[in-house]
């Protein structure tokens, strides 16, 4: 039985997330804070009407793609809602990419409209001018180059014209593309309909995380990443909360400044930034008492890191896992029910199986590939039928993630199937080694990959960022080996230690494991 009411026959996410706040009397409430700017729900709605009319005047038709290449800020929020209001399909990418990446995305999406900023034009301008598909390019900022100024276009638009009206989309009409991380090649788009985002909001946001109208939400990941689009735009808007945005890099110092200034209650984070905040010299004196919950996803949260954060702040971290294929989080810890080291239990409305290589369920406690089922499953990977057939089977999605589930229904992440190492004939999870190393006070960050020895046998190799004031050395390697002997079987010890000032990250903030694999 569904835990979510069926959406009405005419259903548009812009009305669901934005318009409802005006209808419920929250038009005058501050919806978004970005730097010194504040915008109420009514002010955002008024500009969304203008931008909707602008997009339609530029030739956008229902279900055509609009590429958003924008930093976090009000233009991102306005554009995201206007695309949906016009019946278009949003596709969001990192505004810090290079020309070759933007050329790929414009070609792959066949976007009819592009909304970007002056700062990105040097990288995206040539590809935009060469695109045979684009009909309109809007540029935020003082220099629009050969394209149209975003602000001028909005100023000239008529918010009362038919072109500004809400497109009467249906729940199963196309709404958005969410890109995979591209860990096995170029990023692919997971195609989602309006219903998918509604489903995750009504299940994870309301029944698991528990968003409230009085929340002030702050996010480490940026809005182009579906994890943050959900936690720091869709979910807060669903309940009429307030969102804090910032366009710059997510650093521990920036987070401490924003928490001090805006007193958020809800923090969306990732393990790397949780670790960086705890290692910061500002940690001891920072006032984090406004926080009531912290979310973590994107990579596994070590149990030791969770316990250290809880001891310092008293704030629970709801670690969970989601994916572009399912839009958002489908397994999570719950407020008041956090099992350190686990990813928690199924979110209401989702089912799961753990299966062997033949697709048969494995016994309780054994590891296998995770299959997940729920009402937010993507239709397909765009332009990739074979991959779509391998991953999607109706509402079921077969992931590349290896899990085990205990008798209490709690899920434990073992790793991605293609990251596991076979050492001495036994499968080894790099995460297990990484988490053991992170328990040592001299280790700030770590990534373990497989490396062949002189005999061609695969053994673990650890890339380590030492803690502040600690030098990578033979002595440290010896101390870490002694540390591991108390925690791991001998075949799991790293045979090599590589010292780094920092580890490479992808555009989601995760450690770029494939980059390190290429180095060994």
Distance CA 483, CA 464 (A): 15
Give the contacts of 285 (CB within 8 A, at least 6 positions apart): none
d(CA 95, CA 399) in angstroms, rounded, equals 28
Residue 43 CB burial class (10 angstroms; 0-12, 13-18, ≥19): middle
User: Angle at the Cα of 251 (from 247 to 252), degrees rounded to 5?
Assistant: 135
Rounded to an integer, what distance in angstroms lies between the CA atom of residue 321 and that of residue 306?
16
Tokens representing 349 are 């409305």
Block means of pLDDT (10 residues each) for the chain, 520 residues, are: 87 98 98 97 98 98 98 98 98 94 96 98 97 98 96 98 98 96 76 98 98 98 96 98 96 96 97 90 94 92 92 96 96 97 96 91 92 97 95 92 94 83 74 89 91 81 93 93 87 91 81 86
> Of 420, 423, 421, 384, nearest to 402 (Cα)?
420
Going 131 to 132 to 138 to 144, the CA torsion angle's sign is positive
**Residue 5 per-residue DSSP state:** P
State both tokens at 406.
Answer: 């205990």
Residue whose pair of structure tokens reads 């596709």 in the numeric block: 91
Place of tokens 């790293």: 494
- 30 by Cβ neighbours in 10 Å (0-12 / 13-18 / 19+) ranks as middle
For residue 231, give the DSSP letter. I
The dihedrals phi and psi of 455, each to the nearest 5 degrees, come to: -90, 5
What residues contact 237, with CB distance under 8 A and at least 6 apart? 17, 18, 21, 31, 243
How would you write 397-454 as a 3-class SS string? EEEEEEEEECCCCCEEEEEECCCCEEECCEEECHHHHHHHHHCCCCEEEEEEEEEECC
The residue behind tokens 């765009």 is 382
Superfamily of domain 421-517: ANL, C-terminal domain (3.30.300.30)
- Beta bridge partners, 113, equal 66, 136
How many other β-carbons are positioned within 10 Å of the β-carbon of residue 401? 22
Name the residue ranges covered by the structural domains of the chain. Answer: 8-297+310-330, 421-517
Burial of residue 469 (number of CB atoms within 10 Å: 0-12, 13-18, 19+)? exposed
Q: How many CB atoms lie within 10 A of CB 166?
A: 16
Taking the C-alpha atoms of residue 354 and residue 350, their distance in angstroms, rounded to an integer, is 14
For residue 145, count CB atoms less than 10 angstroms from its CB and return exposed for 0-12, middle for 13-18, buried for 19 or more: middle
Segment 402-406 long-range contacts (CB within 8 Å, at least 24 positions apart): 402/367, 402/368, 402/369, 402/370, 402/429, 403/343, 403/354, 403/367, 403/368, 403/369, 403/370, 404/354, 404/365, 404/366, 404/367, 404/368, 405/352, 405/354, 405/364, 405/365, 406/342, 406/364, 406/365
Number of Cβ within a 10 Å radius of residue 408: 8
- The dotted CATH code for 8-297+310-330 is 3.40.50.12780
Residues 6+ apart with CB under 8 A from 122: none
- Euclidean distance between the first and final Cα of the chain, in Å? 50
Residue 1 is predicted with a pLDDT of 42
Q: What is the pLDDT of residue 203?
A: 98
Instruction: With CA atoms as reference, report the closest residue to 191 among 117, 294, 108.
Output: 108
Distances (CA, A) of 62 to 88, 250, 513: 5, 35, 39
pLDDT recorded at residue 289: 96
């Amino acid at each position: 039985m569904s835990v979510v009411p069926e959406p009405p026959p005419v259903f548009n996410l812009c009305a669901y997330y934005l318009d409802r706040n005006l209808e419920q009397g929250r038009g005058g409430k501050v919806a978004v804070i970005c730097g010194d700017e504040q915008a109420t729900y009514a002010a955002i709605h008024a500009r969304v009407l203008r931008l909707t009319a602008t997009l339609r005047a530029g030739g956008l038709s229902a279900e055509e793609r609009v590429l958003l290449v924008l930093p976090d800020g009000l233009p991102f929020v306005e554009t995201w809602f206007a695309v949906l209001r016009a019946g278009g399909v949003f596709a969001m990418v990192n505004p810090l990419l290079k020309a070759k990446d933007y050329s790929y995305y414009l070609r792959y999406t066949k976007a009819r409209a592009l909304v970007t900023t002056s700062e990105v034009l040097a990288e995206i301008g040539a590809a935009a001018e060469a695109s045979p598909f684009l009909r309109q390019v809007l540029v935020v900022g003082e220099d629009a180059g050969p394209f149209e100024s975003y602000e001028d276009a909005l100023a000239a638009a008529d918010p009362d014209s038919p072109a500004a009206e809400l497109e009467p989309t249906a729940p199963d009409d196309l709404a958005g593309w969410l890109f995979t991380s591209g860990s096995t090649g170029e990023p692919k788009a997971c195609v989602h309909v309006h219903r998918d985002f509604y489903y995750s909001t009504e299940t994870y946001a309301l029944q698991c995380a528990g968003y409230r109208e009085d929340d002030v939400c702050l996010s480490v990941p940026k809005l182009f990443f579906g994890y943050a689009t959900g936690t720091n735009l869709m979910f807060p808007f669903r309940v009429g909360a307030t969102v804090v945005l910032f366009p710059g890099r997510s650093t521990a110092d920036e987070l401490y400044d924003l928490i001090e200034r805006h007193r958020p209650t809800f923090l969306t984070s990732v393990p790397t930034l949780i670790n960086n905040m705890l290692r910061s010299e500002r940690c001891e004196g920072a006032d984090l008492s406004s926080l009531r919950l912290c979310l973590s996803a994107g990579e596994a949260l070590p149990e030791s890191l969770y316990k250290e954060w809880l001891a310092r702040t008293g704030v629970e971290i709801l670690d969970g896992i989601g994916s572009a294929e399912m839009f958002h989080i489908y397994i999570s810890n719950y407020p008041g029910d956090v099992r350190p080291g686990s990813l928690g239990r199924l979110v209401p409305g989702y089912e799961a199986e753990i299966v062997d290589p033949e697709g048969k369920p494995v016994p309780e406690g054994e590891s296998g590939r995770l299959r997940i089922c729920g009402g937010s499953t993507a239709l397909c990977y765009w332009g990739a039928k074979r991959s779509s057939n391998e991953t999607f089977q109706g509402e079921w999605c077969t992931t590349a993630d290896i899990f085990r589930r205990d008798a209490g229904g709690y899920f434990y992440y073992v790793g991605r199937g293609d990251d596991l190492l076979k050492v001495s004939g036994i499968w080894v999870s790099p995460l297990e080694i990484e988490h053991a190393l992170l328990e040592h006070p001299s280790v700030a960050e770590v990534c373990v990959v497989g490396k062949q020895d002189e005999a061609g046998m695969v053994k673990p190799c650890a890339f380590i960022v030492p803690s502040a004031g600690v030098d990578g050395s033979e002595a440290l390697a010896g101390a870490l080996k002694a540390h591991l002997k108390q925690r791991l079987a001998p075949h799991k010890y790293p045979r090599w230690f590589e010292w780094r000032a920092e580890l490479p990250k992808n555009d989601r903030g995760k450690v770029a494991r494939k980059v390190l694999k290429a180095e060994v």
